[in-house]
């Protein structure tokens, strides 16, 4: 396994001599604040209830304290699982599927090692320690890894410096996100004004067709699986894998100019309009591609509808189940909803132009964010390893900005729902 090289002025110790794994379970329900992992942060879940079906689940959660480090050790080969390392800010409980580490003594600043592990993760140094088909990491693989031990004062200074620099980068990312959000708000406003004087309504299935262009997977060819962000924020393609690694799902071609919906996370507004770039990927049967069959109701209009409050409510009401975030969309139920119809071609065209501008801007902002992410990772790596010496750097007053939550993307490996064909209207 490749290790993160660090300055020779620091000593090193085995990870297990610095951190112990937390295994104490919530068997007596002394804590009710369940926590969850969200893009480099540990945040509160809604307070759990002690119904019989959930008692056993929460009794197996691990007790964690402020300052503990949590590692999302699952699916190391899935690049869409971003920011796997986080520090606990409030005592609570968290799923035992993660690794929870607690410092053994006061010579350790947990936040320094949180940054250090983030640097290791960004350079995929945990991958070589993963085991099993899904590359899962365990404490046993981590405990003998040598890691640096800077003096406590230097650890503290590194944390101050990185908190400052990371906050500056996070602020820039937030501004770019805000520029996209403003366009979405404008789309919502224009759509709401457009349908104030609607001419009527029609069932969705009267104006679209469900496209099922399935392909036969060749084990010797490479494919890029498609995924979706929630809140109408786009489609992404994963790194190419061979056909033999594609799993048991059926896959379909993606054609541009279609409304794509996630079959598992449509209820979180995982909906977008496909582009020519998306045609490089394939979508599993857990996604639905809708083709407009009515020139008066283009897919951009449908996107505007589904990110409106009424359309968002329709997506939620047509998604059922309670398996975590997975709530399968009943496509037949969705196709029977009534959508507003507007006989105003010029106004519809202006809305579509606005949606197209949003679609075009989204990948540009994503690329800018990727550059900022690369910068953040490089700064963290160089500083925690001592390659950049910050002992004499004066950290100014600054506004702290947390990492922007963006692990709200989903993967087609999440569940094994069966595909649903378009049925006859009732």
pLDDT by residue, tens only, the chain of 426 residues: 456 788 889 999 999 999 999 999 988 777 777 787 766 677 777 665 556 666 667 788 899 999 999 998 877 766 544 578 899 998 988 888 899 999 999 999 999 999 999 999 888 888 777 777 667 888 998 999 999 999 999 999 999 999 999 999 999 999 988 988 899 999 999 999 999 887 789 999 999 999 999 999 999 999 999 999 888 888 999 989 999 989 888 999 999 999 999 999 999 889 999 999 999 999 999 999 999 999 989 999 999 999 999 999 999 999 987 545 568 999 999 999 999 999 889 999 999 999 999 999 988 888 898 899 899 999 999 999 999 999 999 999 999 988 765 544 444 333 333 333 333 333
pLDDT of residue 188: 92
Comparing C-alpha atoms, which of 291, 274, 280, 289 is closest to residue 225?
A: 280
Domain boundaries, the chain: 11-150, 176-360
What does the buried/exposed string (b/e) look like for 18-34 if buried means 16 or more CB atoms within 10 Å of the residue's CB?
bbeebeeebeeeebeeb
Rounded to two decimals, what is the model's pTM? 0.78
Q: Does the 11-150 domain belong in CATH 3.90.220.20?
A: yes
**pLDDT recorded at residue 40:** 63
The listed CATH number (3.40.50.970, 2.60.120.20, 3.10.290.20, 3.90.220.20) that belongs to domain 176-360: 3.90.220.20
Long-range contact set of residues 370-378: C-beta below 8 Å, sequence gap at least 24: 372/169, 372/172, 372/173, 375/169, 376/165, 376/166, 376/169, 377/118, 377/119, 377/122, 377/123
DSSP 217-270: PPTTSEE-BEEEESTT--EEEPPPEEGGGS-S--EEE--SS-EEEETTTGGGT-
| Proportion of the chain in helix, strand, coil states, percent, rounded to 5 | 35, 20, 40
Helix (H) / strand (E) containing 79: none
What is the per-residue pLDDT for 422?
35
Confidence (pLDDT) at 118? 92
Q: Which two tokens mark 214?
A: 């399935």
The reply to whether 176-360 shares the fold of 11-150 is: yes
DSSP state of 46: P
Phi, psi for residue 36 in degrees, rounded to 5: -140, 160
């Amino acid at each position: 396994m490749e290790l993160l090289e660090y300055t020779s002025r620091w000593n090193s110790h085995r990870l297990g001599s610095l951190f112990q794994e937390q295994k104490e379970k919530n068997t007596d329900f002394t804590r009710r604040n369940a926590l969850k992992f969200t893009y480099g942060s540990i945040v509160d879940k809604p307070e759990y209830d002690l119904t019989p079906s959930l008692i056993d689940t929460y009794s197996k959660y691990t007790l964690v304290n402020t300052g503990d480090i949590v590692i999302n050790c699952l699916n190391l080969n899935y690049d869409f699982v971003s920011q796997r390392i986080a520090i606990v800010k409030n005592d609570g409980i968290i799923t035992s599927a993660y690794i929870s580490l607690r410092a053994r003594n006061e010579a350790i600043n947990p936040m320094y090692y949180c940054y250090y592990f983030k640097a290791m993760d960004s350079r995929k140094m945990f991958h070589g320690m993963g085991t099993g088909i899904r590359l899962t990491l365990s404490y046993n693989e981590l405990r003998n890894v040598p890691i640096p031990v800077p003096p406590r004062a230097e650890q503290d200074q590194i944390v101050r410096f990185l908190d400052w620099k990371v906050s500056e980068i996070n602020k820039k990312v937030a501004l770019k996100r805000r520029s996209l959000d403003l366009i979405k708000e404008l789309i919502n406003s224009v759509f709401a004004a457009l349908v104030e004087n609607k001419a009527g309504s029609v069932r969705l299935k009267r104006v679209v067709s469900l496209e099922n262009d399935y392909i036969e997977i060749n084990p010797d060819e490479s494919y890029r699986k498609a995924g979706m962000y929630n809140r109408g924020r786009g489609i992404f393609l994963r790194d190419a894998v061979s056909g033999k690694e594609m799993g048991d799902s059926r896959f379909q071609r993606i054609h541009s100019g279609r409304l794509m919906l996630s079959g598992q996370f449509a209820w979180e507004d995982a909906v977008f309009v496909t582009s020519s770039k998306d045609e490089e990927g394939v979508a599993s049967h857990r996604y639905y591609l809708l083709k407009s069959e009515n020139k008066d109701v283009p897919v951009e209009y449908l996107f505007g509808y589904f990110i409106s409050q009424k359309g968002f409510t329709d997506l939620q009401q047509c998604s059922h189940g309670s398996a975590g975030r997975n709530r399968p969309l009943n496509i037949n139920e969705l196709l029977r909803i009534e959508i507003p119809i507007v006989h105003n071609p010029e106004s519809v065209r202006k809305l579509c132009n606005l949606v197209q501008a949003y679609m075009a801007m989204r990948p540009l902002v994503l690329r800018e964010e990727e550059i900022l992410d690369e910068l953040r990772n490089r700064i963290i790596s160089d500083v925690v390893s001592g390659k950049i010496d910050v002992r004499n750097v004066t950290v100014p007053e600054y506004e702290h900005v947390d990492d922007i939550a963006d692990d709200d993307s989903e993967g087609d490996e999440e569940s094994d729902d069966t595909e649903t064909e378009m049925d006859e209207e009732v």
